[in-house]
Amino acid sequence: MGLKPILTKDFGVENLHQFGVYERTGGYTGFKKALEMQPDELVELVKKSGLRGRGGAGFPTGNKWSFLPKGMYPRYLVCNADESEPGCFKDRYLIETSPHQVLEGVMIAAYAIGANLAFIYIRGEYLPQYEALESAIDEARDAGYLGKNVLGKGYDLDVILHRGAGAYICGEETALLTSLEGYRGEPRLKPPFPAIKGLYGKPTVVNNVETVSNLPHIVLNGADWFAALGTPTGKGTRVWCISGHVNKPGNYEVENGTPIRELIEVHGGGVWKNRKLKAFQPGGASMMVLLPEHLDVALDFDAIAKAGSMAGAGAMVVMDETTCMVDAARRYVKFFQHESCGKCTPCREGTFWMANVFDTFESGSARQSDIDLLLDIGYNIDGRSFCPLGDASTWFPRSVIKYFRDEFEQHVAEKGCPFKKQAVEAVA
Amino acid sequence: MALGQDTVDRIRASAALYPSKQSAILPALWAVQHEQGYVTDEAMGEIAQHLGLPPSLIEATASFYSMFLLRPEGRHEVVICVNAPCMLRGADEMAAHIQRRLGVRDGQTTPDGAITWHSTIECLGACGGAPMMQVDHRFEEDLTPQKVDAIFDRLRTEPAPHEAPKPKKAVAVAPVKGEKVRSGAEGARARGRKTQK
Amino acid sequence: MAAVQVDQVTVSVNGVSVTVPKGTLILDAAKKVGIDIPIFCSHPKMAPVAVCRMCLVEVEKMPKMQPACAVQVAEGMVIRTKTDQVEKYQKGVLEFLLINHPLDCPICDKGGECPLQDQTYQYGPGASRYIYQKAHFDKAVPLSDKIVLDRERCILCWRCTRFSEEISGERELALIQRGVHTIIGTFNDEPAQSNYQGNWTEICPVGALTARQYRFISRPWDLDRTASVCPGCSMGCNIQIDARGNKLGRFQSRENLAVDDSWLCDFGRYSFPNFQRAALERPRIRRDGKLEEVTYPELFEFAADALKRAGAPVAGWASPGSTNEELFLFQRLMREVLKSPHLDHRTAAVADTSPEDMTLPIADIERCDHVIVLGGQEVIDAAPVLHLRLFKSQRKGVTVHKVGSGEGKAALDGVPAEAMVVGILATQANRKQAAELQDQLARKVKGSVRRLIVSIGPNGRGAVDLGILPHAGPGYAALNGQSGKARWDWTHAGIKAFYLHDPSPLHAYAPTEAEALWLSTLPLVIHHRFKASPLDDVAQVIIPARAFTEKNGTVTNMEGRVQRIGRGIDADAVRDNWRVFQDLANQLGAGWAYEGVNDILQDVIRAVPPYEAVNRGERVLWAERA
């Protein structure tokens, strides 16, 4: 348990983003080894490794690959680099520090599923990271790792780097595909699932940046090696983003199963300004809040779910005792309102309504009954909206009402934010 | 203002790159914004022509995404994130400082036309370096009032990125052999990423 | 052909068991047993999108409620549409839809026939808890010269944008912006050009898209509805005439899958003001150069005398906008009573249609593997709703070749020899070319080749079938050398009197220069017409006629389907057109005793037996008879 740099083990190496440097650290040997294997063997290897998707849902990667219908070509591999979850900045870190590792992972995944064309969809705001990947792709092409007859092995592969333009929803895999096809990034009905009818109506696999970055290591070191890391249902490591009220925010790759306490208190340097921990959020903006009593829960999909939240994309947002939980929830609700694509009624109208109600808590005009109104609006969104964005918009605020209802009542009683008042009094 | 030949070439190259020409809409919009600084209806009409698609489709797509500027703004775009992780580390106070320093409100442009600033609730992916902002799509993290002031002083005299002598490559186009742009990746290095011990 | 084997599945909806074909949507399975699930975005002609979320229902073993409009039934599925959860949620989603809706029902044209209004009453909450600022949008946006858009009323069901993409393929309407700020609109707010915009107003489940012509005209409950057929062209799209008193309100579509597939074009839909009567006129005669009003008995006496005085030969023209019953009596009047073979209905000098011109039924376009549209846009302009059928066919995989009128060769080369079902569409002007192309294709391809010629006017087809021609009698009967002169030759045929039956403003008699001169010199012109026209000046007798919307009868569309039109407007003071023919004939000694259009229709069927198809709403099958 604890820090376990696998993806990030060479991240201290100067100029790792350069092709030559990456190769000297052993880069692309995983891809070369993969090319010596049959695609089916690779699928089995990844299945056996127990690797689960790092984008948020935690679906087993090898299984996802094996859903592609036999004999249907062309098929596409799409790497989801549309990282936009508030609290999450690990994919950015993986891309800018080691773009070739991401690319190598994409190449292995593409080969495993039999795709001759792969896409990397990177969020529009990540311009330097876009440029890093663009250079990496050019270098790999120059080196014969991409293009016709890759490394003389009779396999053709090219990678198209596609830049988004500001839409959180495009992180949802069907919306990502819609966006990649040039349309508004609205999610699609499932079924059919992308494995059957994905990009351009063809069988498609969508894998996250961190997921594919694991692949070169799994191919090189074997499924058993990977499966020996982490927990029984959460193999390997994860790159956790820690932010908020800690002394050392940043990315830390830790073995799955490490206690949350260690991430916050040791790697994150503990709560800043010698304050007390009030709450934390283990999966980014979408996920339910947890309390200090949950500090000993393990960093693991299943353990966190059991505690009443979700690991999501691996973003730990830490809040100290001075945090106004109502305001934190208000920010997230406003975020979801801003990012709702508008396709379905509950999400489009419900997030707008919730945001309006939250503003009244801030402005001081909220009524006692508005706390239950928020819960009721949430009830009519969660599980009713078209895609998980709507559902997720309700999780954090509802969990905050569950654990910090008194703060909402205080906002009503004091006609405004008690925390802001405190701050003003302190200054005065 | 008709699109420049270089932009038209980029749009056509993008159309040829993807299995479906419609996929070239976002690259085309980026190419236009890169050349002109924003995207006019006229430009959308031109994109539609070059891609052989109905113009309504271009507008539908362009208006969906938050990064396309549909009207002229200042030479430099400054965006500060005020979502929760940034708020926890003083983003609101930093936004207040920006407003005081620039003398214009959220969403407005300084009278000299140098800077348009706005706050966004959309996470920009730098929670570990909060408070943060993006200046012309480049990250500026661990902001302090002094750091912000220094950045603004620089921007006051710098040309717009798309008018700079050596334009940064910012659009997905068919890779051209021999053309290499490394500045971005090296730039990323230069800004001291958090690395674990 | 053996019956198609379809896998059936049995499911339970609210405890009622129902067996439906595999692939049926929950919505339709429930409907089959009379269980109504509220919807907004779902539309039977469009692929499910499940965006409005109104139709969520409980499905056993599924953790979340499911959209009934998008989820297909599976064997053994247990569906519940009336549980506490469903009903609480229905109130919730309607409350959501209304938070940014202006609730201006009292001044909204949709009020009274608005699904949002109706479903709010039926399933919605009694009151809203929304006390905050609404999102505001533009109201009364002129989307085109036909349509006005209220962006505040829009609930973003995507029906209109999907119509623009899936049904007309024009992709003119699109969603713009995102989230709660999403609106619908055209590119750069330019005026919409589509010829199918009226359909947007009909499928809009709220008052967002309304017709400018109908703006603030009437409440739906004040309208009388009459089933009829569109008078615009020979397509024969089914319509409903909505009128209030003697004022036409609008034409609405009335689904006939075989003909219009539930759509109308704007040309036809918005043609209704042409049929609006200005006044209930009385007949007039010209005595000593002056027109004077007379009673009907005086009229017929005068007209009969005038005809006798003028002497033979008499010529007669009847509009292709007349009904079969009118045309049948008209030709009897001409042939039997006035003993004249000089009758015509044609508006342009083009080849006549024949039964071979309707061997391809409209709905069969979808079943072809190749369709040639000879003349391209000309054909669409002549019958605009054909475009929707062609686009639908294309989406189903039919290859449509649109070629110019002189490019039959290109079309011939474009169809591969292995084609099995080939269709040709052309206007009457290109009839000969189409027939030649059909012969050539028949020699080239493996399968069958059929054609469909767009005839002229809502009953140009019937006019030919019933012999409103100088060279053929009813049912294409040969005249054994007794042919009369065609319209073009009347100017120099020594005609003494002219009966002009012109009840349709859309398919009126438009005289050439030579004809105008000829008319001014004729001793007797009887002008039986709907609206005043310059030709009144040369008429000695002016008989008011009933318009398309004021009478009962049948018309025959381009594919030979005989359909009933209905009297949507009360014009009792104006004598029915057929009765005018009968009264004049009787004044001339005929002794007819028809009591209504149905009597005449029976005679039509006796004279032209294939017309008994009218009793089944089917097409007249000449070819099979031959």
**Which residue in B41, B48, B56 is closest to C173 by CB distance?**
B56
Pick from C462, C479, C103: which is nearest to C318 by CA?
C462
Q: Which residues of B touch A161 (CB under 8 A)?
A: 172
The answer to whether the CB atoms of B185 and A135 lie below 8 A apart is yes
Closest residue in C to A388 (Cα) is C64
**Which residue in A3, A137, A163 is closest to B26 by CB distance?**
A163
Cβ-contact A139, A132 below 8 angstroms: no
Amino acid identity for residue C9 in this structure:
V
Can you tell me the mean pLDDT for C571-585? Answer: 97
Q: How far is A280 from chain B (nearest CA, A)?
A: 11
pLDDT band at A268 (very low <50, low <70, confident <90, very high): very high
Query: Three-state SS for A38?
Result: coil
Share of chain C above pLDDT 70, in %: 98
pLDDT band at A153 (very low <50, low <70, confident <90, very high): very high
Q: Quick check: A384 contacting B, CB < 8 Å?
A: no
Record the tokens describing residue C502, joined without a space: 């012109």
Cβ-contact A207, A77 below 8 angstroms: yes
pLDDT band at B5 (very low <50, low <70, confident <90, very high): very high
Alpha helices in A186-344 (DSSP H): 209-221, 223-227, 260-261, 301-306, 325-339
Cβ-contact C343, C334 below 8 angstroms: yes
The answer to whether the CB atoms of B45 and C173 lie below 8 A apart is no
Cβ-contact B76, B160 below 8 angstroms: yes
pLDDT band at A1 (very low <50, low <70, confident <90, very high): confident
Tell me, what's the pLDDT at A56? 85
Cβ of C246: how many Cβ atoms within 10 Å? 12
Placement of tokens 């929670």 in the chain: B127
Length of chain A: 428
Which distant-in-sequence residues (6+ apart) come within 8 Å of C378 by Cβ? Answer: C405, C427, C429, C430
Q: Quick check: B87 contacting A, CB < 8 Å?
A: yes
CA–CA separation, C562 vs C547, rounded Å?
19
The answer to whether the CB atoms of C180 and A383 lie below 8 A apart is no
Can you tell me the mean pLDDT for C1-9? Answer: 68
Q: Is the ipTM of this complex over 0.90?
A: yes
- 123-182 of A, contacting B, C-beta below 8 A: 123-132, 134-138, 141, 160-168, 179-182
| C20 pLDDT higher than 60 | yes
Residue of B56, B66, B70 to mutate when probing chain C, most C C-beta within 10 A:
B56
Interval C113-136: pLDDT, tens: 999 999 999 999 989 999 999 999
Cβ-contact C609, C619 below 8 angstroms: no
Strands A277-281 and A204-208: unpaired
| B175 pLDDT higher than 50 | no
| B191 pLDDT higher than 70 | no
Q: How many CB pairs under 8 A join B and C?
A: 35
Placement of tokens 């006044």 in the chain: C279
Compute CA distances C77 → C5, C11, C18, C85, whole Å: 22, 5, 10, 18
Q: Which residues of B touch A166 (CB under 8 A)?
A: 65-68, 122
Q: Which residues of C touch B59 (CB under 8 A)?
A: 174, 176, 187-188
Mean pLDDT of chain C: 95
Can you tell me the mean pLDDT for C405-427? Answer: 94
Tell me, what's the pLDDT at B182? 29
Longest alpha-carbon distance in chain C: 90
| B194 pLDDT higher than 50 | no
Interval C159-216: pLDDT, tens: 999 999 999 999 999 999 999 999 999 999 999 999 999 999 999 999 999 999 888 8
The answer to whether the CB atoms of C182 and A339 lie below 8 A apart is no
**Which residue in B45, B57, B64 is closest to C171 by CB distance?**
B57
The answer to whether the CB atoms of B19 and A249 lie below 8 A apart is no
- Say if pTM beats, i.e. exceeds, 0.95: no
Can you tell me the mean pLDDT for C391-401? Answer: 97
Tell me, what's the pLDDT at B177? 34
Instruction: Kindly state the helix (H) or strand (E) to which residue C441 belongs, with its residue range.
Output: helix C431-444
pLDDT band at A424 (very low <50, low <70, confident <90, very high): low
The answer to whether the CB atoms of B85 and A86 lie below 8 A apart is yes
Closest residue in A to B27 (Cα) is A163
Mean pLDDT of chain A: 96
Query: Three-state SS for C327?
Result: helix
Q: Quick check: B58 contacting C, CB < 8 Å?
A: yes
DSSP C258-284: TTTTT---HHHHTTGGGG--S-----E
Pick from B181, B28, B165, B114: which is nearest to A128 by CA?
B181
The answer to whether the CB atoms of C178 and B63 lie below 8 A apart is yes
Record the tokens describing residue B107, joined without a space: 């969403």
Placement of tokens 């993006």 in the chain: B134
Q: Which residues of A touch B118 (CB under 8 A)?
A: none
Which distant-in-sequence residues (6+ apart) come within 8 Å of B6 by Cβ? Answer: B35
Can you tell me the mean pLDDT for B110-125? Answer: 95
Closest residue in B to C187 (Cα) is B56
The answer to whether the CB atoms of C182 and A348 lie below 8 A apart is yes
Instruction: Kindly state the helix (H) or strand (E) to which residue A346 belongs, with its residue range.
Output: helix A345-363
Q: Which residues of C touch A175 (CB under 8 A)?
A: none
Pick from C158, C155, C84: which is nearest to C117 by CA?
C155
The answer to whether the CB atoms of C65 and A346 lie below 8 A apart is no
Longest alpha-carbon distance in chain A: 73
Tell me, what's the pLDDT at B167? 40
In chain A, the N- to C-terminal Cα span, in Å, equals: 47
Cβ-contact C334, C499 below 8 angstroms: yes
Can you tell me the mean pLDDT for C376-385? Answer: 97
The answer to whether the CB atoms of B88 and A323 lie below 8 A apart is yes
Can you tell me the mean pLDDT for A251-276? Answer: 97
Residue of A209, A277, A331 to mutate when probing chain B, most B C-beta within 10 A:
A331
| C328 pLDDT higher than 50 | yes
Interior/surface letters C525-549, b for 16+ CB within 10 angstroms, e for the rest: bbbbbbbebebeebbbbbbbbbbbb
The answer to whether the CB atoms of A189 and C64 lie below 8 A apart is no
Cβ-contact C93, C53 below 8 angstroms: yes
Closest residue in C to B63 (Cα) is C177
Chains in contact with B via at least 3 Cβ–Cβ pairs below 8 Å: A, C
Chains in contact with A via at least 3 Cβ–Cβ pairs below 8 Å: B, C
Tell me, what's the pLDDT at C516? 95
DSSP A103-137: HHHHHHHHHHHT-SEEEEEE-TT-HHHHHHHHHHH
Query: Three-state SS for C371?
Result: strand
CA–CA separation, A392 vs C572, rounded Å?
66
| B185 pLDDT higher than 50 | no
Strands A250-255 and A237-244: antiparallel
pLDDT band at C624 (very low <50, low <70, confident <90, very high): very low
Pick from A153, A156, A171, A163: which is nearest to A131 by CA?
A163
Cβ-contact A230, A80 below 8 angstroms: no
Provide the 8-state DSSP code for C481. Answer: T
Tell me, what's the pLDDT at C5? 59
| A406 pLDDT higher than 90 | yes
The answer to whether the CB atoms of C188 and B57 lie below 8 A apart is no
pLDDT band at C336 (very low <50, low <70, confident <90, very high): very high
The answer to whether the CB atoms of C172 and B56 lie below 8 A apart is yes
Share of chain C above pLDDT 90, in %: 91
Query: Three-state SS for A341?
Result: coil
Helices (H) and strands (E) in chain B, counts: 8, 4
- Partners of C561 in beta bridges: C619
Tell me, what's the pLDDT at A192? 95
Can you tell me the mean pLDDT for C481-494? Answer: 93
Pick from A371, A346, A77: which is nearest to A212 by CA?
A77
Pick from C55, C148, C65, C156: which is nearest to C110 by CA?
C148
Record the tokens describing residue A19, joined without a space: 């092709």
DSSP C173-200: -EEES-GGG-EEE-GGGPPP--S-HHHH
CA–CA separation, C434 vs C427, rounded Å?
9
pLDDT band at B161 (very low <50, low <70, confident <90, very high): confident
Q: How far is A348 from chain C (nearest CA, A)?
A: 5
| B188 pLDDT higher than 70 | no
Record the tokens describing residue A238, joined without a space: 């994860």
